[in-house]
Amino acid sequence: MNKLKKANITLPVAVTIMLWIKTYIVYKTSFNLKIENFMQELILFINPLSFLLFVFGISLFFKTEKSRNRYLLLTSLFLSFVLYANVAFYRFFTDFLTLPVLFQTSNFADLGDSAATEIHWFDFVYFIDVIFLFLLLKFRPKAMEIKPIKKANRRAYFLVAAAMLFLNIGLAETERPQLLTRTFDREMLVKNLGTYNYHLYDIFLQSKSSAQRAMADGSELVEIDNNISANFVKPSKKMFGKAEGKNLIVISLESLQSFVINNEVYGEEVTPFLNDFIKESFYFDEFYHQTGQGKTSDSEFLLENSLYPLNRGAVFFTHSGNKFDAMAEKLGKKGYFTSTMHANNKSFWNRDIMYEALGYDYFYSATDYDITPENSVGWGMKDIPFFEQSVDLMKTMQQPFYTKMITLTNHHPFKLDDEDKLIEEYDSKSGTLNRYFTTVRYMDEAVKHFIQKLKDEGLYENSIIVMYGDHYGISENHNEAMAQYLGKEVTPFVSAQLQRVPLIIHIPGVTNKGKGKTISKVSGQIDLKPTLLHLLGVNTKNNIQFGEDMFSSDHRDFVVFRDGSFVTRNYVYTANTCYSKETEEPVDDSYCEPFKEKARTELDYSDKIIYGDLLRFYDNEDYQKIGK
C-alpha cells in the first residue's frame, strides 16, 4: 500500500488503462475495422494510449483531491460518451462522427425513429468503467489518496505520454505513408490515430476549412478550369436536345440499390413495375451513388452541381451560403419553373436555405401536402399519397417545369403498415434487410401509381422522367445477411458493387415499349447534370463540372467514391486493394495505379471549389470566368 501512496499517479493511470482497454474492445466488437497484419493490430491497440495519458495526466496539476476526482470522472464520462456516439452513428452509417455532422442539430428531431433502432438496452456496458470509477472514488481505500505530485514525477509521466504519441505516429506513418493527407478515409485515420486523436484532427480540419474561403481568390480556378476544359466530353449528337422543351421530372428513390432490380424474394418480384418500365427506358446498370455523410442531400448536391460532396458533413449545412452553378438555376434562365417536392420539414438538411442558393423557384414541403396519421409511416408521408398529391400540384405549374421529387417510405428503419406490405419479409438475422424488401416493393407500387396518374392528367407525354437511387439502404453492418441473400460472401469487391443504384431515363416517344436500352457504362451521380442538360438542349461546355454526358461515345468508364475508392471498366479499387471485375479477385496494384491520380485530383479540385467558394469569382450572368 505504501508504494501506491508514494507513486501518487496510480488513479490517473488506472483510469487511463480502463478506458484504453475499453476503447480497444470497442474497436474489435463495434467497428468493422479491417486489419491486414500484426503491425496494424499493434497500432490499433496502442493508438488510444497517448491521448488518454495526456488528458488524464492533467489531473496531476490539480491542487485539491476533490477537483482532481471530479475532473477524472467527468472526463472519463465525456470520452466514453464520444466513443459511444461513434458506435451508435457507425451502426447506422458505417462511418465515424465529424464536427460538421454535430452541427446538423436541426436534423436530430427527424432522425429519432432511425436513431432509436440503433440504441439498445445493453449499451450501458459502454459506460461500465465510468460506473466502476464512480464507486471507486466514493468508496476508495485511503492508500489511493492522491497527494501533490512532484515536478520530476509529472515530467516523467508526460515524457512517457509523448513517447507513446511519437511511437504511434511513427508506426502509423510507416504502415500508411502520407496518412494525414488521406483525410477522406476516416476508417484509416481511426485505425492509425485512434478515435480521440481523430476527433482532434477533425477539429483542426474544420478550422482549416473555415479559413479557406477567406484566403481564396480567383486565381485558384485557373488550374481547375484548364483541367476540366481539357477533359470535357462532347455530348452525343444523336441525343443532344432530344427532350428539348419537355418537362423534367427527377425522382430520388430513397435508399434503392440495384441488387433488388429483376430480383425476387421467395418467388415474388421485388420491383415488378420498375422491371417492366426499364424495358421501355434507358437503364444504366453500372451507375453508382457517390454520397458521403450527407446521404440524400449529397445526392441532390451531385445532381445539381456535378461536384463531389465533402468528405466531412454535408454541403447543404456547411456551405449553403456559397455561390453555385446549379441545374435548377440554369433551367430557370431557360424559362423553366423549377421546384422541389418533399413532404417533410423545410429545415430538414437545411433544404429551405440550400434550395434558394441552388436557384429553385419553389419548395413544396410538408405545409403544401395534406399529411395525416393515416397516410404517414416512419419518416412521414407514404409514397403513394405523396405522388398522388404531387401530380395535383404539378397540374398548377407553369410549363415547361423542372421538379425534383424525394420519396420517404423506403427509409431506414424500413417500417411499413401491414396493409401496405405487398411482399413477404425476408428471413435472416437482420431485421433491417428483412423489412427492406417490403418497403422497396411498396415504393415500386407507388411509382406505378405515379406514372399512371401522369398519364391520366395529361402530363406524361410532355415529360422526361428520371429516377435514380440516392444512396445505399443496407450498410456493411448487414453483410452476413446480405451474403445469405446473394448466396456469396460480401467481400470488399462485392461491397463496392453493392453501391450501384438504379438510373432510369424515360423519354415518351423515344423510349416507348420495345425501344428501351440497357447501357452498361461505369457512371455515377456526378454525371447526371451534364447528361440531363444535354438532353434538354443546354450546352455545358464552359461549366465547372466533373461529370460527363453518359450518352456520349467519349464517356469514360470511371466513377470515384468519396473515400477515394473508384471503379473503372475492368477494375475496382477499394479497401486499398485493386480487384479485377472479371475474376472478382485481387490483382497487382499497378492495374489501378493509372487511375489513382485522377481520383485524387478530382476530389481535391472539387473540395477547393467548395471550401474556397470559388464559383463566386465567376460572372453571374453567363457564368464565364471573370477575365477569361
d(CA 492, CA 585): 10
Q: Which amino acid is at 225?
A: D
Catalytic, 98? Answer no
d(CA 201, CA 557): 35
User: Residue 139 class from Cβ within 10 Å (0-12 exposed, 13-18 middle, 19+ buried)?
Assistant: exposed
CB atoms near residue 419 (< 10 Å): 6
Q: Which amino acid is at 84?
A: Y
Contacts of 364 (CB under 8 A, 6+ apart): 339, 340, 341, 342, 390, 393
Q: Rg of the Cα trace of the chain?
A: 27
Using CA atoms, how far residue 131 sits from 110, 243, 348, 570, in Å, is 32, 65, 37, 54
Which helix (H) or strand (E) segment holds residue 362: the answer is strand 362-364
Angle at 449 between CA 446 and CA 450, to 5 degrees: 85
d(CA 623, CA 325): 8
Q: Which three cell numbers stand for residue 269?
A: 418480384
Q: Of the residues 98, 296, 338, 491, which is catalytic? A: 296
First CA to last CA distance, the chain? 79
Q: DSSP string of 532-594? A: HHHHTT---TT-------TTSTT---EEE-TTS-EEESSEEEETTEEEETTT-SB--GGGTHH
d(CA 473, CA 410): 8
d(CA 549, CA 530): 5
Q: Which three cell numbers stand for residue 83?
A: 466513443
Angle separating helix axes 10-30 and 49-57, nearest 10 degrees: 150
Residue pair 571/579 in contact (Cβ under 8 Å)? The answer is: yes
Residue pair 294/478 in contact (Cβ under 8 Å)? The answer is: no
φ and ψ of 23, to 5 deg: -60, -45
Angle separating helix axes 128-139 and 65-93, nearest 10 degrees: 170
Residue pair 107/296 in contact (Cβ under 8 Å)? The answer is: no
Angle at 590 between CA 588 and CA 594, to 5 degrees: 145
Angle at 295 between CA 480 and CA 246, to 5 degrees: 120
d(CA 508, CA 515): 10
Which helix (H) or strand (E) segment holds residue 523: the answer is strand 523-524
User: Which residues are designated catalytic?
Assistant: 296
